[in-house]
Chains A and B, each alone.
Chain A
Amino acid sequence: MPNRVEERRRGAVRQQPASKATRQGKQAQPQQTAAPQKGAERHRIKFADARRSWIRNHTDVAANAYHRLWASPLSTLMTLAVLAIALALPGALLAGLKNLHGLSEDWGAEPRISLYLHTNITETKAEQVSRELLLRDDLSAVELISAEQGLLEFRRTTGLDDVLKYLSDNPLPSVIVVLPRGKDATTLPLLREQLAELPEVEEAVLDMAWVQRLTAFVAVSERGVIVFGVLLALAVLMVVGNTIRLLIENRRDEIIVAKLVGATNAWVRRPFLYTGAWFGLLGGVIAWVLVQVSLMLLEPPVAQLAELYESQFEIQGLGWLGSLLLILVSTLLGLAGAWLAVGRHLREVEPR
């Protein structure tokens, strides 16, 4: 791109003969042997020059756009506040979702199947069954809770000692608890059915229903957050777009004069694009602060709640990746909003 610009500017410095020379180059090549080298050298210098001027222009424009934001601090702050809130909501939801994921993984990590054996199965038989199960590939652990053990545990946890004394027999069956290797929601019920069909097993219970419900709930909230996030992203686009549209209106004279003295569309567009990117970046940073502060405020009561559930659960912030993502996405949204506004409205501002 700078290359093309450069060539045109060379035209502007009265070097039409050069362009003629290249056109005639095919017929008059022998005479041209020395000239192109010189031209190439000059071109390289000019190219470096153009690149330097391009970089300088971009840094200048970015800095200018930033300073211009604070020329009208009140309206800038108000726009930023709207952007920050629109960005903080999906940000907070994302953080919440991440925590919910952590929660469901903590508890849902180990679905287990309890096999209640027929009460007439002897202890040795039960042990044999459990050993057989241990040989299966699809189970990672097998634990036999004999009828005796079951009774002891029942006694200890319930304190119904006296009642149990009246019973002549142990009413509890032996239970084999197995940990399946596969953990997804489709294979587990199949496995449960297989195990239920073993002759010694009276009933096989998969205690996973609520884990499934939690997973489904997380999936629903995930979808909700995405829909919500897309809507709010559109809001950000429109807020930035409208702000940029007003800026273009305000700077109409300047744009017209610049176009009259030879500004390219890219040159005219550039400050507005940077302004949009600044809005996005600053809005994203403020949104990040809002999310982190809200999570900090939530932390003590959540810790208390977790303690009541005897859980080690700790609330998590956005993390490095989440923070980076939030700020990157908001900057890009700002840029895109500005791009839309500039594309629509800059065409209308032409010198007449």
Chain B
Amino acid sequence: MIRFDRVSKRFATGQDALSDISFDLKRGEMAFLTGHSGAGKSTLLKLIMLMERPTQGNVFVGDQDLSRMKGGEIPYLRRKIGVVFQNHQLLFDRTVFENIALPLEISGYSPEDAARRVRAALDKVGLLSKEKMNPVMLSTGEQQRVGIARAIVNKPQLLLADEPTGNLDPALSEEIMRLFMEFNRHGTTVLIASHDLNLISRMRNRILTLKRGRLVAGA
């Protein structure tokens, strides 16, 4: 599903974010990406989303070579990938429902179809009763779950998460991780960046470890 082939990323400042990364994540697999902050976890995820382009090497998502992808094709790549952010990136000028409906609206679903899918997604994260609320009124854990609902509403083949439990207490973190495992069990490929070693070592999944931009374990 994701393949990195000798990928390096050097920023304009001359700083090496990633060097010579190669790994392969199979369809339906679930893996963690770990390492200290600044080790390159976010950069690696950004390369998959084409928010950044590698300086060297190739990234493949599905069968597509991202280095050959033109700017106009990027939106269609992103529609295949669900992303959960640490700061959840919710919009506070609209309701929970509208936040989750955004990807569907963009992909051109009919309102009825979209409403059905939004409710299904809300049901999966256990927030069906809060669809009309503003995200501001929710707790941090609930906000994160809204972010997850938005990431999966499109039924993406690939789910990425950047520190999804960053601001949560251990109990909530575990709950969120279980949610991801649930999606994985239904066939979604999942890659989660997290520095919470304590939590992820209990999950018994593949762990990719980054250290100063190099992949030191899990390849």
Binding site for B on A (CB under 8 A): 5, 8-9, 11-12, 14, 16, 50, 52-54, 56-57, 253-254, 256-265, 267, 350-352
Contacts and interface: CB of A to CB of B under 8 A. Distances in A.
Contact of A351 (B51, B73, B80, B110): B51
Contact of B106 (A14, A16, A261): A261
30 contacts: A5-B108, A8-B73, A9-B76, A9-B79, A12-B76, A53-B108, A57-B108, A253-B91, A256-B89, A257-B89, A257-B90, A258-B106, A259-B75, A259-B78, A260-B49, A260-B78, A260-B83, A261-B78, A261-B79, A261-B83, A261-B102, A261-B106, A261-B154, A262-B75, A262-B78, A262-B79, A263-B75, A263-B106, A265-B72, A267-B106
B110 A53 contact: yes
Interface in B71-101: 72-73, 75-80, 83, 89-91, 93
Contacts of A52: 110
Contact of B76 (A11, A258, A259, A350): A11
Contacts of B83: 260-261
In the complex, which range does the number of interface residues on chain B fall in?
20 to 34
Contacts of A8: 73, 76
Contacts of A50: 108
B134 interface: no
Contacts of B91: 253-254, 257
A269 B79 CA distance: 18
B62 interface: yes
A351 B91 CA distance: 15
B150 interface: yes
B164 interface: no
A120 B34 CA distance: 120
Nearest to B62: A16
B49 A262 contact: no
Q: List 7 A-B pairs, minimum CB-CB distance, nearest first.
A: A262-B79, A262-B78, A53-B108, A261-B103, A8-B76, A264-B75, A262-B75
Contacts of A14: 157
Contacts of A9: 76, 79, 107-108
Contacts of B63: 16
Given A57-B108, A267-B75, A351-B51, 9 more contacts: A9-B108, A54-B108, A257-B91, A259-B75, A260-B51, A261-B103, A262-B103, A262-B107, A264-B106
Contacts of A56: 110
Contacts of B150: 261
A184 to B, nearest CB: 56
A258 B103 CA distance: 7
Interface in B41-87: 49, 51, 62-63, 72-73, 75-80, 83
B24 to A, nearest CB: 18
Contacts of A256: 89
A292 B109 CA distance: 46
Nearest to B99: A257
Which of B75, B79, B89 neighbours the largest number of chain A CB atoms within 10 Å of its CB?
B75
B57 to A, nearest CB: 21
Nearest to B108: A53
A160 to B, nearest CB: 88
B182 to A, nearest CB: 20
Given A16-B62, A50-B108, A257-B89, A264 B72 contact: yes
A257 B77 CA distance: 15
Which of A5, A14, A253, A262 neighbours the largest number of chain B CB atoms within 10 Å of its CB?
A262
